Chains A and B, each alone.
Chain A
Amino acid sequence: QLQLQESGPGLVKPSETLSLTCTVSGGSISSSSYYWGWIRQPPGKGLEWIGSIYYSGSTYYNPSLKSRVTISVDTSKNQFSLKLSSVTAADTAVYYCARLSITMVRGVICWFDPWGQGTLVTVSS
């Protein structure tokens, strides 16, 4: 049974870089069938996709965050990571990692499953 677990600092200072890691267990991150992604949810608000990565390193980013986001993968550790630079209070959120199944049949068919439990990151001095 595939499981994902987020880890990283729960508190980040404004203007600094937020760094999180997602560890995948029960399956290989190098599977050709899947991408891997980050999603966040500010307290009391909705979900926002941050970006996704393939094991080869190919990435897709949310256009609104692209200038500040870097997602990378370490296949030897079965992990992928998120870096978000120049953070502000607006980046305070629960950050989730998840596996993205994706295929194309007359359009893009993709979905996130399973998800990690999420980790709260607060941006504050």
Chain B
Amino acid sequence: DAKTTQPNSMESNEEEPVHLPCNHSTISGTDYIHWYRQLPSQGPEYVIHGLTSNVNNRMASLAIAEDRKSSTLILHRATLRDAAVYYCILSGGSNYKLTFGKGTLLTVNP
């Protein structure tokens, strides 16, 4: 499985944008980029995913580099509820499996 690299932790202030980076230099052409987050004492929650183009949904935006070797999850206005561990995961088109790393622990300051 192609691997991802994320910072161990990041901090943000409430109501400010947050950019969470992810490097995936060995990504293959059929790998989708997924982001999940895990709030304390809860199961992982889907955030967003994409293949080549930038994606937006009600929770966040996903910016994918042109060479697809990196991506950025963008939370437009962080809230205290966004404090969580964020996982960047690559998953092939026919592969149901999600391989979780340690993710990025996001702290949001009031």
A in complex with B: no
Which residues does B use to contact A, with CB under 8 Å? none
Which residues does A use to contact B, with CB under 8 Å? none
